[in-house]
Structure 1
Amino acid sequence: MENPDSHTPNERLRDLLKEAQWTGDALAKSINALGAENGLSLHYRRPSVAQWLAGSVPRPPVPQLITEAFSRRLGRLVTAEDAGLSKTRQTLSVRPSQVALQLAWLGDQQPETGGSHIYSMPLLESLIEALSSNEAIPPRPENADRRIGASEISAATAALSLFSSAEQIFGGGRIRPAISTYLATTIAPWLQRPSSPTINRRLLSLAASMSYLSAFSHYDDQNNGTAQRYYACSLQLALAANDTASIALSLRGISVQAHALGHRRKALQAAEAAQQHSRNGAPLLRAAIFGQQAVTAASVGDARQAAAYLLAAEHYLNQASAASEPVGVYHLSSFAHQQAEAAALLGDYGPAEAALHEAIRRRPPIERRSHILTLHKLADLQLAQGNLEAACATWQDFLKGYPYITSGRVDAAYSTMRARLKPFKNFPKVDSILRQPTC
């Protein structure tokens, strides 16, 4: 709905349309596409754009979608103020000294309370480029509060482990509100309290890991704009801690999200930046990032480089002895999944299917969400190769786990399954799947 109280023609928006060489229809189409990227079903057309040019202001998050559309079209940051849709100057970067405030604000802006954020290409570019900060997060004066110590570190470590296990078993949607609240009400205040240098660094690294997990849980639940902002917080916290492993892990998450949303070149850049920061890291981290580089290289058609990255990932995985950390879990199943994804992107469906079977076989039982997403990918690949019967059998396994997972990605997989199978609804096994209740 639009705001009827504003009737002054929006000359700034008109100028942007001219600069972008867009018609009203083209802008509306771009906004609808960006809405889909952010989990919104929008159906704007030229009459709506005419209303905005006449001075009406659409309700959030449409102003953010409008400015994002122009930012991508023009290759520079366009703010709501630039577009005549707000009097407030928009900023994207978050300085380390502001991360605690950002975490508290994000906790108050959850979708359940009406908050919404749009996945931003200018923010993505700034995250890849802004890797030189070493600004500390200033504590409050010594007499302001009790100092943070080992007990707080132990509590945060236990909470991180609990959130991570729950996310793997039940999906991001189950932990997303809880971890956001914990970051806002517990971690953010601790970041502003005094502590020793050692405790401060450990707290910053823990906060970076928890922000990363919050980002991934939002991404898993398809709240991509909020996920991106938590990745930004994770990266800044890791930079403030001078924690190269956490920096690399944050960049890997940023790459995974960008790739999933179709921003392939940027995903490759983020993966390359992650690799630069993991050079002195543990073998398991290096393997995970080489694997992500393989996927992103395959996505841009570079088969030779993808194969080289997979060999490097396998090499470091064979060297690894320690188990994965609570976030950024990586193991043989993860590697097989990356092999499958790279092969599928390059059109090698046979090897991709074999690798997906291996990923399913090796998947730890705790990772129920990842297990059923891999089943969906396998079934989709089987159907693409014309093997309807095998796809039906795999999707039957998918449906056994589906009711127990709260995840936007899993819900999207379920919808995709139904759309893929509808043309074959007269086939008895397909009809059985389409009629099967999910709860």
Structure 2
Amino acid sequence: MKAPNDKLTQWLDRSRMSRGELARRVKSKAVQWNQPHISPDTTRIRCWIQGEMPRAPIPDIMAAVFSEHVGYRVTTYDLGLGDSSSPDAALIYNPSYVATVEVVADLGRADVDRRNFLSAAPFAAVAGVGPSRDWLMNTLDQQEPVGPHVRFEDVTAVRNMFGEFQKMDVLQGGGSGRLVLAGYMTQHVYPLLRRTYTDEVRRALCEAAAEQTYLLGWMAYDNGEHGTAQRYLIQSLRLAEESRNAPLGAHVLAGMADQATLLGDPAEGRRLAQAGRHGLSKVKSPACLADLWCLEGRALALLGDKAAATHAVTQSEAAFEAVRPGTEQAWAEFIDPAYLHGEHANTFRDLGDGVASAEHARRSIDHAKMQKRARRGAMSQAALATSHLHNRDLEAAHAAGIRTLSLSRQVKSSRCIEAVQDLQRRMQPFGTHRLVADFNEKARDLVAA
């Protein structure tokens, strides 16, 4: 015999809702979540009170009903319905804005709590296919929604915080402040999405939330937490669509493309970058377009298409020439010569063109040094070292490798560690040479950490 759910009984008493009223509200909320088949009656409510566990996503819907009724977050835990949240929920590009808000709020809460189910969540191959398709179709065919109180001042505060967290990521690495940002989003930003506002404020708030959710995903990506990163990026894409900011959505797809290519699926990376470019067909964002062409080039290089990859680099450079100071959105600030030349260096590295790779790497290093961007400098130094190895110049490669190590120690970034490990692999053909041994010895503590 099942034990009665005393927590649910207590919450029902506290809310002063009857069983019939709860049933009606669950049914109404289910419709908002595009789950019209969920239609409980008072008998079903009684069964749940007596201990029967409702099937997903009913626990989350009930938590949303109680949260809306009392004006603050009520979880499935609070209702005695366990943790019905699943890491897979954040892989879904839900057409319901209400459901999206609940999913991204639960994702942030699980991240802050460092819940096991999220830390163990894997990166799902081709999970971006549906989201990128839905975003592109909806972005190209959007109409103004009929809208109905968060203030613009609240949105401005969120935007100001975005700038600070973005600088933290760029200068210190994704692992240094990600959980601080997750806490800020969970406590201050995601709750705003549940409140009422004018349509204009709603779009601005969704835009700001999408920017910060993207940054959460990017910081997780940079810290090697790819399953978590993927889920944040997909939800950021959905919020970007809600904001009607096509360049921002295309920017999120660039991040998804970068991740797919890094994790060994350049074909998916290319497709995501192309979807982003198509999404910019009605609007202008030269910096975002330059980034998308850049990342398409990275993917094409790994696919072995030298002509197409070189063309993509040329298109990226042409797009960036159209960038004018002060005309791009805040998230595009670091799509700049340090970043683009660094990525182009990796493209030509993968094409086996050591001369072009070294040229781009040096240009990236110069810009990164002026900006004190250790992470970008480290990755571009690693690309330069690889170009020296391509020319069999071990002494120059060792010197660039040592600079890579020095810069990598200044940030918390798994990508820098991976760049060091890649250099170690590329030095293996030189056997037991003293410079190889010296580099491996100096890298040991960094890689082990």
Instruction: Tell whether the structures are fold-level matches, with TM greater than 0.5.
Output: yes
Asked if the contact 2:254–2:276 (Cα under 8 Å) also holds between the matched residues in 1, the reply is yes
Partner of 1:255 in structure 2? 257
Does structure 1 residue 183 correspond to structure 2 residue 185? yes
Partner of 2:417 in structure 1? 411
Cα pair distance change 1:183/1:264, threshold 3 Å: same
- Structure 1 CA distance for aligned equivalents of residues 101 and 144 of structure 2: 12
- Structure 2 CA distance for aligned equivalents of residues 286 and 414 of structure 1: 30
Amino acid at match of 1:176: R
Residue deviations 1:156-199, cap 9 Å, x none?
A: 01110010000011100012111222222211110111112221
Asked if the contact 2:294–2:343 (Cα under 8 Å) also holds between the matched residues in 1, the reply is yes
Asked if the contact 2:349–2:383 (Cα under 8 Å) also holds between the matched residues in 1, the reply is no
Structure 1 unmatched ranges of 5 or more: 1-85
Report the secondary structure of 1:200's partner residue: helix
Partner of 2:348 in structure 1? 343
- Please identify, of 304-313 and 250-259, the stretch whose mean Cα deviation from structure 2 is larger: 304-313
Question: 308, 313, 326: which is aligned to 2:316?
Answer: 313
Asked if the contact 1:97–1:137 (Cα under 8 Å) also holds between the matched residues in 2, the reply is no
Cα pair distance change 1:415/1:306, threshold 3 Å: closer
Report the secondary structure of 1:121's partner residue: coil
- Structure 2 CA distance for aligned equivalents of residues 435 and 298 of structure 1: 32
Asked if the contact 1:128–1:269 (Cα under 8 Å) also holds between the matched residues in 2, the reply is no
Does structure 1 residue 392 correspond to structure 2 residue 398? yes
Question: 131, 134, 142: which is aligned to 1:130?
Answer: 134
How far 1:308 moved relative to its partner?
2.7
How far 1:428 moved relative to its partner?
4.2
Asked if the contact 2:93–2:131 (Cα under 8 Å) also holds between the matched residues in 1, the reply is no
- Structure 2 CA distance for aligned equivalents of residues 285 and 176 of structure 1: 23
- Please identify, of 340-349 and 251-260, the stretch whose mean Cα deviation from structure 2 is larger: 340-349
How far 1:289 moved relative to its partner?
1.7
- Structure 2 CA distance for aligned equivalents of residues 160 and 89 of structure 1: 25
Q: CA RMSD in A?
A: 2.9
Asked if the contact 1:106–1:180 (Cα under 8 Å) also holds between the matched residues in 2, the reply is no
Cα pair distance change 1:90/1:292, threshold 3 Å: closer
Partner of 1:105 in structure 2? 106
Does structure 1 residue 283 correspond to structure 2 residue 282? no
How far 1:432 moved relative to its partner?
3.9
Does structure 1 residue 322 correspond to structure 2 residue 328? no
- Structure 1 CA distance for aligned equivalents of residues 109 and 365 of structure 2: 38
Question: 336, 352, 360: which is aligned to 2:357?
Answer: 352
- Structure 2 CA distance for aligned equivalents of residues 288 and 229 of structure 1: 21
Asked if the contact 2:273–2:296 (Cα under 8 Å) also holds between the matched residues in 1, the reply is yes
Cα pair distance change 1:421/1:137, threshold 3 Å: farther
How far 1:137 moved relative to its partner?
11
Partner of 1:61 in structure 2? none
Amino acid at match of 1:369: R
Partner of 2:221 in structure 1? 219
- Structure 1 CA distance for aligned equivalents of residues 346 and 146 of structure 2: 43
Cα pair distance change 1:235/1:318, threshold 3 Å: same
Asked if the contact 1:212–1:231 (Cα under 8 Å) also holds between the matched residues in 2, the reply is yes
Asked if the contact 1:127–1:232 (Cα under 8 Å) also holds between the matched residues in 2, the reply is yes
Residue deviations 1:6-50, cap 9 Å, x none?
A: xxxxxxxxxxxxxxxxxxxxxxxxxxxxxxxxxxxxxxxxxxxxx
Partner of 1:302 in structure 2? 305
Q: How many positions carry a matched residue from both structures?
A: 347
Amino acid at match of 2:358: E
Amino acid at match of 1:356: A
How far 1:300 moved relative to its partner?
2.1
Cα pair distance change 1:413/1:309, threshold 3 Å: closer
Report the secondary structure of 2:342's partner residue: helix
How far 1:344 moved relative to its partner?
2.2
Residue deviations 1:111-153, cap 9 Å, x none?
A: 84433221112422222222234699999xx9xxxx2112211
- Structure 2 CA distance for aligned equivalents of residues 407 and 297 of structure 1: 25
Does structure 1 residue 241 correspond to structure 2 residue 270? no
How far 1:424 moved relative to its partner?
5.7
Asked if the contact 1:137–1:191 (Cα under 8 Å) also holds between the matched residues in 2, the reply is no
Partner of 2:46 in structure 1? none
Structure number, greater radius of gyration: 2
- Structure 1 CA distance for aligned equivalents of residues 206 and 441 of structure 2: 50
- Please identify, of 150-159 and 423-432, the stretch whose mean Cα deviation from structure 2 is larger: 423-432
Percent same amino acid among aligned pairs?
A: 21
- Structure 1 CA distance for aligned equivalents of residues 382 and 220 of structure 2: 20
Question: 369, 375, 378: which is aligned to 1:372?
Answer: 378
How far 1:388 moved relative to its partner?
1.1
- Structure 2 CA distance for aligned equivalents of residues 372 and 198 of structure 1: 42
Amino acid at match of 1:108: R
How far 1:383 moved relative to its partner?
2.4
Asked if the contact 1:267–1:296 (Cα under 8 Å) also holds between the matched residues in 2, the reply is yes
Q: TM-score, normalised by structure 1?
A: 0.72
In the TM superposition, 1:134-153 aligns within 5 A as 147-153=149-155
- Please identify, of 175-184 and 306-315, the stretch whose mean Cα deviation from structure 2 is larger: 306-315
Report the secondary structure of 2:128's partner residue: helix
Cα pair distance change 1:419/1:310, threshold 3 Å: closer
Amino acid at match of 2:250: A
How far 1:377 moved relative to its partner?
2.5
Cα pair distance change 1:430/1:264, threshold 3 Å: closer
Amino acid at match of 1:257: Q
- Structure 2 CA distance for aligned equivalents of residues 90 and 321 of structure 1: 40
Residue deviations 1:254-280, cap 9 Å, x none?
A: 111111111111111111110011232
Cα pair distance change 1:157/1:137, threshold 3 Å: farther
Amino acid at match of 2:131: L
Partner of 2:125 in structure 1? 121
- Please identify, of 276-285 and 265-274, the stretch whose mean Cα deviation from structure 2 is larger: 276-285
Asked if the contact 2:338–2:376 (Cα under 8 Å) also holds between the matched residues in 1, the reply is no
